[in-house]
Chains A and B, each alone.
Chain A
Amino acid sequence: MKKWPTLFLISFYCLLFGEVFIRIFAPVALMPRYVTGAEYGVRMNIPNSQYWQTTPETQVQLRINTQGIRADHNYDYTKPPGHCRILLFGDSFFMGYEVDLTDSFSQLLEQNLLKAGYACQVINLAVSGFGTAEMLITLANEGLKYQPDIVVFQWHITDPYDNVRSKLFGLDAQGQLIPLNLTYLPGIPISDWLTQFTLYRWLIENSQLYSAIRENTARKIKSILVSFRKNTSHSLPTNDETDQSEETGNNAISPYAMQLSFRLLQAAQQLAQQHHAHFYVLEIPRRHSRTEFSSQVPDFPAELVQKLSLLTPLSVLQAAAHPEVKLYYEKGHFHLTPLGNRLVADYFFQQLHNSGILKSFKILQ
């Protein structure tokens, strides 16, 4: 009978050792992701959730409103008269991981617009881990309810992989987009069940050991999943953050994955235009080092870049790059720093401003 307490004590000691080990030798970022399944079959932020993200470089609180949007207030579906609504769809970059709400791209963009006198609301429907396919589904099922005037899809190098991995859409023999599955909710049933427990919530926000194990396991499972699925390259980035590490080189993306992504973006554009909204794609460049970034825009056919209004702030980031300046965090999950977000927001605002499409909206006094 004495065996069980001893076993329990040893197990507890081992876990404690692991926690201390990780904190001393291999500190990891604590980046909990509170997502659940939306009724339209893809992930959404858990409404009314509040949680902390802690990395060696920063600590921020994420607050989600009752609509699953990172914001401190709710939005009516009906937009205020004369106002412009910009809807953002993206992953953790647009969602503002590792930065305070006030330093996130969506808030900075809104501030810029207001400062310039445009009566604009920026609504951020980004969800960490999203690919273009999930953005498209969210736009169709939730985004359009907000009566957007401008729809912005974020583009990042991980999107082609995510689009293939999710298997929500595929391409037929003629290269046309076809729906494959109605849902993509990876790990959601388990995380929904676990999130009920206070201990689990405490672990994901405070235990580096748990975080490291979860990251490693997720990476392993993702790579196994990808290797089982056709039409994907073998050298895939492991997730949307870690592939930003300095040591990564160029990962080959299969033509199929790129073609699928083009079609998804075109479908999103069509949908937005059918609802009289302008459509933009804004790239978050890939980070190679503190001063080196790259864009995937050259991989897009030239006419598509123009047609999709595909923009990249690469030149802005390159101009601001300096060995002493961090535009992306380096010890967490390689998201944009407040300065990085500001540069991207300023760039995008300038593009919108220059395009003239905002002129028709109410000018604030």
Chain B
Amino acid sequence: MLFNSFTFLLFFIFFFTLYFLLRRQLLAQNLLILISSYLFYGWWDERFLILIMLSTVTDFITGLAITKQKPTLPQALALTAFLLILGSILHWRTWDTTAWTILPLLLFVGLGWLLHSYLFNLPDPSRKKAFLLFSICTNLTILGFFKYFNFFADSFQQTMALIGWQVDPFTLNIILPVGISFYTFQTMSYTIDVYRNQITPTRQFIAFAAFLAFFPQLVAGPIERAKHLLPQFYQLRTFNSTDLKTGAWLAIWGLYKKIVIADNLAPIVNKIFADPSTASSGDLMIGILAFTFQIYCDFSGYSDTARGTARMLGFDIMINFNLPYLSKTPTEFWRRWHISLSSWLKDYLYISLGGNRLGTLKTYRNLMLTMLLGGLWHGAAWNFVLWGAYQGTILIIYRFLRVDDWLAQRQSPKLICWLQDLGLILIFFLITCFGWLLFRSPSLEIIQTFILGLNGFTYSHHLPVLAFYLWPLLAFQALQIHYNHPEPLPQLPRFLRLNLHLFILFSLLFLSSKGGQQFIYFNF
């Protein structure tokens, strides 16, 4: 079910009515969120609900076990019911319809119980570590199998072939479950935070399951932290007209970015990237520029719709994009682009590797490793690894040049500072655009064709189309800068606001791309 579909609109109207009617009953409301979220997710492929449910059970139990707690009787009953539903789905609609397909689940439960009994009695530091390891291994095994198995199998085969060994291909016909990278990182952050004593483990299973499956941000983020979102499931949500209005506006603005801007730029991008050898230099530039804005509008559009939808339900979801193309340095860029992922990588990977505390060289190593894994997180393909390496290199170069330090310490006159900022923004924007070329290109040949083809400024007939779709975005961003607020509309005069609302509404009605596109980040 896509946000930009009629089905979702019907789903949300029905859901919201029930949600509103249950506004005084927390448990029922959480249960409604949980069931609706599973319905939302299962709309693509109900089989993959099993993976979310397994992660939910695993992290709920390990969270408790890390602090030496066991589920209470009602919790155990809830878990049993949950597992029974899981078993039913597995039996009803699995890869194989024989009764034996239930065996892996029974094995998982049986072995899990035995392992839990054993680990639970270990002395304190070992028990905590063991349970953390168990959770991480379970989640990464699921993620690794579904997302990376074929990639590594394929790469292994090719590497062997390079050194003269012929290995039979052993790739599997695996479908990538939508949003697996997002919810896996979300659930892992919960367990790691419990391990680090940053949050107390939840004892409310339904609230926890609803937190992990919360449909507005389930399939493409933002990757929420338990300490921010989970407590919101513990208390009754309040409805107020401001949240409803601003939430609806944010959701609609997100849809505008996706359907009107990103989807209308997609044909230009697809055409130019499909055969760059026949494109002029101007076309190639426009192709890269169009993708730069397509990916931004596609992803930030989803995030805005997710945040807006959640706000209408009384939830606050973290901001995920904050004018990223106005960044002066890569450090700033990663504080503005996909904030939930970059902060996740920083907190759980970069800092765990030692961050910048182990000397210059190790800092560089940590930066590179973090960005390589960040690249790989986006997908099982070498272009993402290359993009990660590129981002790591850029971070290292800027760090080596101490650009951030210089920016923090400079004491030039305001005008000079402004000009310097402008120059740095332009330079870094070009660096970012080149990064997107690596990200979007399916092969090294395509990258090479682009680089060789970019040999001067020529006019492209795609330019007016690009300008036509981008000017409202740029105008809105100018408002965001002017009011220094991500949502500047409430500060505008009423008449201007009405006109902006009408502009967005009519754009959605009449400028939407005819061939609806899936969100790019659904593949990650």
Contact = CB atoms under 8 A, between A and B. Distances in A.
Contacts of B514: 247
B486 interface: no
Contacts of B499: 17
Interface stretch (B24-32, B65-73, B76-84, B502-510): B502-510
Interface in A99-146: none
Nearest to A208: B510
B188 to A, nearest CB: 39
Contact of B510 (A14, A22, A247): A22
Given A247-B267, A247-B515, A25 B507 contact: yes
Nearest to B511: A26
B515 A21 contact: no
A10 B502 CA distance: 11
Contacts of A26: 510-511
Interface string A4-46: 0000001001100110011001100000000000000000000
Interface residues of A, number: 13
Nearest to B510: A26
Contacts of A25: 506-507, 510-511
B5 to A, nearest CB: 13
Interface residues of B, number: 12
A212 interface: yes
Interface string B480-524: 000000000000000000110011001101110011000000000
Contact of B502 (A17, A212, A213, A216): A17
Contacts of B511: 25-26
Contacts of A18: 502, 506
Given A18-B502, A21-B503, A247-B267, A212 B515 contact: no
A13 B507 CA distance: 17
B120 to A, nearest CB: 53
Nearest to A15: B502
Interface in A193-216: 212-213, 216
A18 B510 CA distance: 10
B506 A21 contact: yes
Contact of B509 (A10, A13, A17, A216): A216
A22 B507 CA distance: 9
Determine the main DSSP class of B at the interface with A: helix
B27 to A, nearest CB: 38
Interface string B250-272: 00000000000000000100000
B267 A212 contact: no
A14 B509 contact: no
Given A26-B511, A247-B514, A247-B515, A17 B267 contact: no
A10 B498 CA distance: 10
Contacts of B509: 212-213, 216
Contacts of B498: 10, 13
A17 B506 contact: yes
Contacts of A216: 509-510
Contacts of A212: 509-510
A181 B17 CA distance: 41
Query: Most chain-B Cβ atoms within 10 A of its Cβ — which of A10, A26, A212, A216?
Result: A26
A151 B499 CA distance: 55
Interface in A70-99: none
A22 B511 CA distance: 9
Interface string B106-128: 00000000000000000000000
Given A25-B510, A216-B509, A14 B502 contact: yes
Interface string B309-320: 000000000000
A26 B509 CA distance: 10
Interface string A214-235: 0010000000000000000000
Interface in A124-177: none
Nearest to A219: B514
B515 A22 contact: no
A8 to B, nearest CB: 15
Nearest to B499: A17
A130 to B, nearest CB: 25
Nearest to B472: A25
Interface in A290-326: none
B281 to A, nearest CB: 22
Interface string A237-252: 0000000000100000
Contacts of A10: 498
Interface string B22-58: 0000000000000000000000000000000000000
29 contacts: A10-B498, A13-B498, A14-B502, A17-B499, A17-B502, A17-B506, A18-B502, A18-B506, A21-B502, A21-B503, A21-B506, A21-B507, A21-B510, A22-B506, A22-B510, A25-B506, A25-B507, A25-B510, A25-B511, A26-B510, A26-B511, A212-B509, A212-B510, A213-B509, A216-B509, A216-B510, A247-B267, A247-B514, A247-B515
Given A10-B498, A21-B507, A25-B506, 14 more contacts: A14-B502, A21-B502, A21-B503, A21-B510, A22-B506, A25-B510, A25-B511, A26-B510, A26-B511, A216-B509, A216-B510, A247-B267, A247-B514, A247-B515
Interface of B: 267, 498-499, 502-503, 506-507, 509-511, 514-515
Closest 10 CB pairs of A and B: A26-B510, A21-B506, A17-B502, A18-B506, A212-B510, A26-B511, A14-B502, A22-B510, A25-B511, A17-B499
